[in-house]
Chains A and B, each alone.
Chain A
């Protein structure tokens, strides 16, 4: 029962952290857009946090450059369990348009486990919100 309550709280108020791993800024700005008045994800309790230690969900954008790869692993390790990673945008999913560049890892799932993918270049804020809701339902039950 306690576990159910914990899951309910996590689902209702996910704290997000955003990590740019070499993205072009398109997805990053759409994520911030999802939190500002037009879409206002904060009314559902989703708050963007600065520190990985406070976050339940990490939104990763970008194709993961070689320079940022060790940092991504470390930041992911700093997040407390249970944690979820959502790959936002085509490059975070597969490398997207940058596939073939010599200094990228072709997607977040080559470095850390990913719970959900949101496609689009960049995905619209509605799609990001939908992706976050789907991932939370899958992780913490409907």
Chain B
């Protein structure tokens, strides 16, 4: 008889409620179940009652980490539906915000990953350096988290020319720090022992589950919206897409660390080449139509769909966040591993439950079970 352990919904490690249960044979995981949707708020329904600018504010709060990505993607979908041309300078500012967000998100992920491994020194170092990019975001937008930079047809705030040398200097200071973490993650024997060969997602499984983002690129699945379907100003900057074939947790860490270098590279190019001009397009009328926006978020591809009926209110909006396709990939990753690997395997896909839990309706099992937090698992088995 296999032992079944439920984990969650309250667990401090991932900062968001969700529920796992894993079936064990001794120490080995033989089956795993994931039950998200504790974060289900019903935002798509609420969005039908709001005007386009109000939906931007609402969708900024889909996720507090991707608070540039979601409103920008909604704005892109709306611009597609209404046939609005975004000014060039606004596209560059959007690119800069997206990449700053990627830097902060990947550093945040690396810190959380280090914490899951019991390497709290790493968490403290990474989050200390993350503050520098938070300062840059605050300098540009005035906010640390929900930036409110986007509007339909452009951006709301310009980047002051006088700030650009300061921003470039701050980015240069990042490179040695990223070197430090790249070295720590790939060379440290303890981290290698934990990360290499565990939580494997093969290329075949990745293709079958259609995973997105760094999770896909760490399994050799070469998908990247910034390159494949360029939006904002990505056509005008040069960058590489790191792809690793190993499919283990180390590969996912390596892909994200390499992406940090690419993001800094893109940011420097965009800041140097930013053109002059207006930052918002004029909107004269709202025609009927439908549109789609695609963005490569730090976790993978975000898709927004908007249908307009000619009024101020979007008739229907639909959001697909990357964790929605990445979370099912946890099951092949967990099976065959041990209990001690659960926290880092779950963290390795960088799941965002608040993005995911919007639409599905799940029958809640209200029976009392022993709730085991990630902290407890770590102290028992870690």
Contacts and interface: CB of A to CB of B under 8 A. Distances in A.
- Contact residue range for chain B? 35 or more
B41 A22 contact: yes
B118 interface: no
B15 A104 contact: no
Interface residues of A, number: 44
B15 A32 contact: yes
A124 B64 CA distance: 13
Nearest to B127: A36
Nearest to B15: A28
Given A50-B11, A51-B376, A97-B61, A26 B42 contact: no
Contact of A25 (B11, B16, B373): B16
A23 B64 contact: yes
A29 B144 CA distance: 11
A85 B376 CA distance: 22
B239 interface: no
Contact of A124 (B13, B108, B144): B144
A102 B375 contact: no
A29 B145 contact: yes
Interface stretch (B43-51, B228-236, B245-253, B285-293): B43-51
Interface in B364-378: 364, 366, 373-376
A51 B375 contact: yes
Secondary structure dominating the interface of B? loop
Interface stretch (A5-13, A64-72, A131-139): A64-72
A26 B128 CA distance: 17
B146 A122 contact: yes
Interface string A49-69: 111100000000011010110
A33 B127 contact: yes
A110 interface: no
Given A19-B10, A36-B123, A98-B41, A25 B15 contact: yes
A41 to B, nearest CB: 13
B37 interface: yes
Given A19-B10, A25-B16, A97-B57, A50 B373 contact: yes
Interface of B: 9-13, 15-17, 37-43, 45-46, 49, 57-58, 61-65, 67, 108, 111, 123-124, 127-128, 131, 134, 144-146, 352, 354, 357, 362, 364, 366, 373-376
14 contacts: A19-B10, A24-B62, A28-B64, A37-B127, A37-B131, A50-B373, A52-B10, A71-B38, A98-B43, A101-B41, A101-B42, A102-B42, A102-B45, A122-B145
